[in-house]
Structure 1
Amino acid sequence: MNIDLLSALSKDNSLTSKVWGRGKLAYYALGMKATCQDPKDFYGHDLIDKLKNHLIVSSSYLESNKFAYSLILIALCKAGESFDTHNLDAISTTPGYYTFGVDEASLVYMAYHCVGNPTYKNAEDSAFNFILQAKNENGTFGNEYSTALAVQYLLFNFKAIFASGNRTLRRQTKTGIEYMINSIERSKVPFTSLLLSVLPAIARKSLLDIGLWQCPSTEQGTTTPSTPTFLIGITVFNNITANNYDHTWSAPLQQGQTLFDALVNLNNTDQTFSFNSKTTTWGQYITSINLMTASTDNRQYWQILGTDGNPLQYGASQTFPSQRDRYTFKFTIW
């Protein structure tokens, strides 16, 4: 990405060509935010300023392609930029009607949701409902591209969907992810445009998640060696209550941190996961995960199983995971 950008900038300092104005620059700006780079200062180039310029120089094309238009607004929003309300008016001139179907509706929804302007709540809800009504009987939302963007929408709204008790939408999210994984496996050389939509969804992320994690400090003059970081598997399983829940995440962890720290890190970096705990004599006691609360009156608790499937000897705050360890938090009755 960086090499491609530098090469393009050496030939066209303003990046005003059609290919950059029709989505590529927006994707690159989002990619830089996702990798903790500053798109406003890319080797002295302000890519966000160049992207805003496309709202003018590419306006004719954007007026007829609300997918690309919405993508640019999402990139600008994630960069902390403001833009005129006429841009928000333009991406959904007829709420509920989308030329490019689910693909367009998903990005229109994410653009409105990112901005958070209550004036456009009806337009946001229209896109929301359009996506829900577009599902197929097999749980997909059309082809791989459409399903990927719809799943991104579902993932970002995962907590609300879970709270509503809508098992159908949870199954569709899982079905959509399986469908996309199979699509990539069938294609020996998948198109870049497919990967741009599919990979975030497979990782259970959306464009709206970009920038929600904490980037490492880049203070000049510091040479403190970084602490090794690795991922562990966290599975939450509940087949006791009506929720019938089974979901797995990859949680970031630094060497020397505990399993409880992994839960905190995951809670801070992934909006599809949340938990509560209380301090006891024996350390932190997990009371609730993703709104599923263990009731002592009903003899319920969260049992923690290790990689070998056996219960842990110590609690989450006294367990120190290693790379590739897997832990299951199982809703249990004693």
Structure 2
Amino acid sequence: MDFSFFIFFVIFTFVSSKPCEISSGNEEQILSLNKKLLRSVKEASEGPNPSLHLGLRLSQHHSLASEKDYLLKLKKELDGIIDRSQSKLQPITGLLALYTLALRASCEDLNSISVHGMTLLQHLKHQLHAEKEHIASSSRPLTNYYQYGLGVLALCVGGVRISSHVVHKLIQAQSNGGFMHKDILSIDTVAMAALAFQCLKESDEQYDGSQIEKALSATQQDILNSQSDTGLFGNVFSTPLAVQALQAVGSEGALCSSAMQVLTTEIGRGTFHNPMAMSQLLPILHYKTYLDVRSMECNGEDDSLILESRTSVVELSQESVTVRLVVEITDASPNIYKVIVPLGSSLLDVLKELHKQKPQEFSFETETSLWGPYLSVVNGLRARQADRTFWQLLQSPDSPLIEGISDYKIKNGDSITLRRTTW
């Protein structure tokens, strides 16, 4: 067969197939996930998370009073977030971008939201300018290309004219392999860039259409190439954003539908218990993407989402599991520990128990993130974004964990490695 015809046939078959669909019979599971996300918002002990609000707003079912209360919390928190960022010189591109999308999803006037004499959109533009300048001087953003792409997307959704230099840096990153995390392509980053490129393509503003089209096509193909035999794009937690991107660019079809079937199965298994993961999944279950925020009108919305009272009492298991914990630091022999914890314990519980048993040998610190706590210091050695290091969590021998330390549940006989790694 002529190769060019084969490529045409594959593309035609893909784009002409049925839209990305969810098989019937999953309505109760989807509603249950909607309620879980709402409950996490109402019962959260930490600060508000704009991604959770965005996920709820892109759902078909709402608890409008709860969403209104959470919106007020978000707006109240914004001043402090910007203050802390400026005092500590910490970039918050992704967080401001999520705030922009979340507030727009509630039909807030983004030009009227001001902090220290600048609107939210101006603060985000300033952050992206600083990111762009850092790329020019250091060949990488202050944060990462996921946050950079999210920032471009949020400004585009907010109807802001974006500097051509900022746009070009994202296009350049796509063509130069900037979306790699270590030696693995980050599907989350690719999907976020695809959403940004699609928004720019549809924008009333004039950008370099041919370059954006080329980058958009490349990101779309990267997502399709990442699909495994299971139907997932990358892994189970990167798949929701990948599906959003495919929906947004109009490439839906059978491949996307197979991913949706896997996701609905994983909902039933309880895989999506992290609120951040739920917030990224919920939109596609209602055939929405972050680009739909542009056209939201916030009237005539369903207001039927009601949480049932909690009645069940969770009892602690009497069983225990044993885990082997390996701590690796460059140019040093690894430290190996055996830790026994109750069944159902998280990796964070393991770290706490080990520190309790051997406080002179093992210590750790965590920092907060939208995904929950992440490991930042082990035995006094800090991993920092500024020097492109992080504590990688691995299952023996070299398989990265796709869940965080508070989400991953220990299984008996697990061998977990903490490895300080450069990316």
Q: Partner residue of 1:84?
A: 163
Distance 1:20 1:26, change over 3 A: farther
Correspondent of 1:40 among 103, 111, 118: 111
User: Are 1:146 and 2:238 counterparts?
Assistant: yes
Which amino acid letter does the alignment assign opposite residue 77 of structure 2? S
Q: In the aligned structure 1, how far is the partner of 2:126 from the partner of 2:99?
A: 15
Distance 1:41 1:173, change over 3 A: same
User: Are 1:25 and 2:108 counterparts?
Assistant: no
User: Are 1:131 and 2:202 counterparts?
Assistant: no
Distance 1:201 1:119, change over 3 A: same
Deviation at 1:62, TM superposition (A): 2.7
Deviation at 1:48, TM superposition (A): 0.9
Correspondent of 1:199 among 278, 282, 289: 282
Which segment drifts farther, 178-187 or 97-106?
178-187
Q: Partner residue of 2:400?
A: none
SS at structure 1 position matched to 2:172:
coil
SS at structure 2 position matched to 1:122:
helix
Deviation at 1:190, TM superposition (A): 2.6
Deviation at 1:87, TM superposition (A): 0.9
Q: In the aligned structure 2, how far is the partner of 1:200 from the partner of 1:29?
A: 17
Q: In the aligned structure 1, how far is the partner of 2:298 from the partner of 2:301?
A: 13
Q: Is the 1:147–1:176 contact (alpha carbons within 8 Å) kept by the matching residues of 2?
A: yes
Which amino acid letter does the alignment assign opposite residue 144 of structure 1? V
User: Are 1:67 and 2:146 counterparts?
Assistant: yes
Q: In the aligned structure 1, how far is the partner of 2:301 from the partner of 2:169?
A: 43
Deviation at 1:56, TM superposition (A): 3.3
SS at structure 2 position matched to 1:135:
coil
Correspondent of 2:125 among 42, 52, 55: 52
Which amino acid letter does the alignment assign opposite residue 227 of structure 2? K
SS at structure 2 position matched to 1:90:
helix
Q: Is the 2:114–2:120 contact (alpha carbons within 8 Å) kept by the matching residues of 1?
A: no
Distance 1:95 1:173, change over 3 A: same
Deviation at 1:182, TM superposition (A): 3.8
Q: Partner residue of 2:292?
A: 209
Q: In the aligned structure 2, how far is the partner of 1:69 from the partner of 1:39?
A: 19
SS at structure 1 position matched to 2:237:
helix
Q: Is the 2:131–2:143 contact (alpha carbons within 8 Å) kept by the matching residues of 1?
A: no
Q: Partner residue of 2:191?
A: 106
Q: In the aligned structure 2, how far is the partner of 1:26 from the partner of 1:6?
A: 17
Q: Is the 2:193–2:219 contact (alpha carbons within 8 Å) kept by the matching residues of 1?
A: yes
Q: In the aligned structure 1, how far is the partner of 2:104 from the partner of 2:113?
A: 11
Correspondent of 1:181 among 256, 264, 272: 264
Q: Is the 1:33–1:79 contact (alpha carbons within 8 Å) kept by the matching residues of 2?
A: yes
Q: Partner residue of 1:122?
A: 214
Deviation at 1:95, TM superposition (A): 3.6
Q: In the aligned structure 1, how far is the partner of 2:162 from the partner of 2:281?
A: 28
Which amino acid letter does the alignment assign opposite residue 49 of structure 1? Q
User: Are 1:93 and 2:172 counterparts?
Assistant: yes
Q: In the aligned structure 2, how far is the partner of 1:127 from the partner of 1:58?
A: 21
The alignment's TM-score, normalised by the length of structure 1, stands at 0.55
Deviation at 1:187, TM superposition (A): 4.0
Q: Is the 1:139–1:171 contact (alpha carbons within 8 Å) kept by the matching residues of 2?
A: no
Larger RCO, structures 1/2 (Cα 8 Å, 6+ apart):
2
Q: In the aligned structure 1, how far is the partner of 2:244 from the partner of 2:101?
A: 15
Q: In the aligned structure 2, how far is the partner of 1:41 from the partner of 1:145?
A: 35
Which amino acid letter does the alignment assign opposite residue 75 of structure 1? A
Q: Is the 2:187–2:242 contact (alpha carbons within 8 Å) kept by the matching residues of 1?
A: yes
Identity across the alignment (%): 21
SS at structure 2 position matched to 1:62:
coil
SS at structure 1 position matched to 2:110:
coil
Distance 1:30 1:174, change over 3 A: same
Q: In the aligned structure 2, how far is the partner of 1:11 from the partner of 1:157?
A: 33
Q: CA RMSD in A?
A: 3.0
Distance 1:188 1:174, change over 3 A: closer
Q: Is the 1:67–1:103 contact (alpha carbons within 8 Å) kept by the matching residues of 2?
A: yes
Correspondent of 1:6 among 76, 83, 86: 76
Which amino acid letter does the alignment assign opposite residue 123 of structure 2? K
Which amino acid letter does the alignment assign opposite residue 153 of structure 2? I
Q: Is the 1:66–1:92 contact (alpha carbons within 8 Å) kept by the matching residues of 2?
A: no
Correspondent of 1:171 among 246, 251, 254: 254
Distance 1:188 1:113, change over 3 A: closer
| 1:240-319 matches, cutoff 5 A | none
Q: Partner residue of 2:381?
A: none
The unaligned stretches of length 5 or more in structure 2 are: 1-47, 49-70, 135-139, 202-206, 305-423
SS at structure 1 position matched to 2:255:
helix
Deviation at 1:69, TM superposition (A): 0.4
The alignment's TM-score, normalised by the length of structure 2, stands at 0.44
Q: In the aligned structure 2, how far is the partner of 1:46 from the partner of 1:26?
A: 13
Which amino acid letter does the alignment assign opposite residue 282 of structure 2? L
Q: What do residues 229-250 of structure 1 show as CA deviations (whole Å, max 9, x unaligned)?
A: 5499xxxxxxxxxxxxxxxxxx
Q: Is the 1:63–1:90 contact (alpha carbons within 8 Å) kept by the matching residues of 2?
A: no
